């Protein structure tokens, strides 16, 4: 009797497979920030072409800014803070839900945050002519997801020297940024942050409903 052994060759990795998706997202954010900044400086693009503005969207113009605004930042410090946050939060999320799910969830959270910003502006007639840029909306989506999947995970948030459980840290960060923006008259996209958090909670509830045993294990593991 002849036995035939079938060998399944391993999938050949390309250059991008050498990096985590989160690392690639950080690289894309940095590279696009530089490119967009240079093009705006040289007047090849305007801020309207990159940043999302409620009045533009409500007029049916610059609809692509739902995406481009996610990869532009107001300055180097804004970029640095968001990328440091993405490095820590995104790395954990990618390990929990996987590369593909993480990518689509990140994009969904950013777009949902932008849409929520537009909706609030339309309903309350505020910030209609304000620009919004940054990865913060997508970041708060990741934070909202962690709030449901790892509620007891101890994390550090700004100005607080002791670890705080994720279920308290997530809304705490949102409130803290809101207070800073009101007290210091600082322009912060609080409604976009809230929209991102809501997107994370929605996806978290979906995962908990569809994968009860897996999400229960994750919750216990990070307690």
Q: What is the pLDDT of residues 10-58, one digit of tens each?
A: 556 665 566 799 999 999 999 999 999 999 999 999 999 999 999 999 9
Q: What is the pLDDT of residues 62-71, one digit of tens each?
A: 999 999 999 9
Active-site position among 69, 109, 121, 136 = 136
Q: What share of the chain is helix, strand, coil (3-state, %, to 5)?
A: 70, 5, 30
Q: How far is CA 7 from CA 2, 3, 4, 10, 13, in A?
A: 16, 13, 10, 9, 18
In 129-189, where does DSSP find H-type helix?
136-149, 166-183
User: Is pLDDT above 60 for 167?
Assistant: yes
pLDDT band of residue 164 (cuts 50, 70, 90) is very high
User: Is pLDDT above 80 for 158?
Assistant: no
Query: Residue 73 catalytic?
Result: no
Q: Give the three-class secondary structure for 126.
A: coil
User: Is pLDDT above 70 for 208?
Assistant: yes
The whole-number average pLDDT for the span 168-185 is: 90
Phi/psi of residue 63, each to 5°?
-65, -25
Query: Residue 193 catalytic?
Result: yes
pLDDT band of residue 216 (cuts 50, 70, 90) is very high
Domains identified in the chain and CATH numbers: 18-221 (1.20.1540.10)
User: Is pLDDT above 80 for 160?
Assistant: no
Q: Contact at 8 Å (CB) between 149 and 219? A: yes
Tokens linked to 35? 């490119």
pLDDT band of residue 127 (cuts 50, 70, 90) is very high
């Amino acid at each position: 009797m002849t036995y035939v052994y079938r060998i399944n060759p391993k999938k050949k990795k390309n250059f991008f497979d050498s990096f985590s998706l989160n690392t690639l997202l950080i690289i894309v954010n940095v590279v696009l920030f530089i490119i967009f900044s240079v093009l705006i400086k040289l007047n090849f693009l305007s801020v309207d072409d990159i940043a999302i503005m409620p009045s533009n969207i409500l007029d049916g113009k610059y609809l692509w800014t739902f995406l481009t605004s996610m990869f532009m930042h107001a300055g180097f410090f804004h970029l640095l803070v968001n990328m440091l946050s993405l490095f820590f939060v995104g790395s954990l999320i990618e390990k929990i839900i996987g590369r593909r799910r993480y990518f689509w969830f990140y994009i969904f959270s950013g777009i949902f945050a932008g849409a929520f910003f537009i909706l609030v502006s339309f309903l309350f007639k505020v910030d209609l002519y304000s620009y919004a840029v940054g990865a913060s909306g997508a970041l708060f989506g990741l934070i909202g997801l962690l709030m449901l999947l790892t509620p007891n995970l101890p994390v550090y948030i700004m100005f607080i020297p002791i670890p705080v459980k994720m279920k308290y840290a997530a809304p705490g960060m949102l409130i803290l940024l809101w207070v800073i923006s009101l007290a210091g008259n600082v322009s912060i996209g609080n409604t976009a942050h809230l929209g991102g958090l809501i997107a994370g909670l929605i996806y978290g509830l979906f995962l908990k409903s569809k994968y009860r045993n897996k999400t229960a294990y994750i919750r216990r593991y990070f307690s």
